[in-house]
Amino acid sequence: MDLFPSATVRSLEAKDVDAVVALDARIVGRRRDGYLRPKLAEALKDVGIRASLVVEHDGRPAGFLLAKVWYGEFGELDPVAVLDTIGVDPLLRSHGLATVMLDQLRMNLAALDIRTLRTEVSWRNPELLTFFHREGFVPAQRLCLEADPAAPEVRARREARLEAQGGDAVAAR
């Protein structure tokens, strides 16, 4: 891999928002202003630890990562850093830009004595899975579960329960 020696990593700043939204559009193939701008605003808030980073190549943002630190989520006592998004300009890939961002994040977290960095990857994104595998990520000792709150079988079970409880309960639902 031919590394970019001039690449520099720094904290995400307000001036990066437009460039990051444009970068993301090149990565995912469509603009996601409504999704990304609130996330970026959140990442730039002055409260808490600002963990999000940008990597510059030739003086311009070439990649970014959005990360935050959670305290006491899901019953965990120790702080956990969550890597929400990572992306590198499709034209500038395989030159180590993602790795230098991740290295910087790892150093920043280690300095804060944060010992867990967590992320979620779509099963349908083998490129990202390969990247995280290479960077030493392994499946976490917890399962990520999801459900459709309006699933017909769940509704049917609820209705059956209400039926079993009698007419009053059914009338009140």
Ligand X SMILES: CC(C)(COP(=O)(O)OP(=O)(O)OC[C@H]1O[C@@H](n2cnc3c(N)ncnc32)[C@H](O)[C@@H]1OP(=O)(O)O)[C@@H](O)C(=O)NCCC(=O)NCCS
Contact, 79 vs 67, CB < 8 A? no
Contact, 8 vs 55, CB < 8 A? yes
Q: In what order do the strands lie in the sheet with 60-70?
A: 8-11, 53-57, 60-70, 80-88, 117-119
Q: By C-beta, is 11 or 99 nearer to ligand X?
A: 99
Distance in Å, CB of 46 to ligand X, minimum = 24
Distance in Å, CB of 123 to ligand X, minimum = 13
| Binds ligand X (CB under 6 A): choice among 88, 105, 114, 117 | 88
Q: How many residues bind ligand X (CB under 6 A)?
A: 21
| Binds ligand X (CB under 6 A): choice among 98, 105, 109, 114 | 98
List interacting residues with ligand X (CB under 6 A): 1, 24, 27-28, 85-88, 93-99, 125, 127-128, 130-131, 134
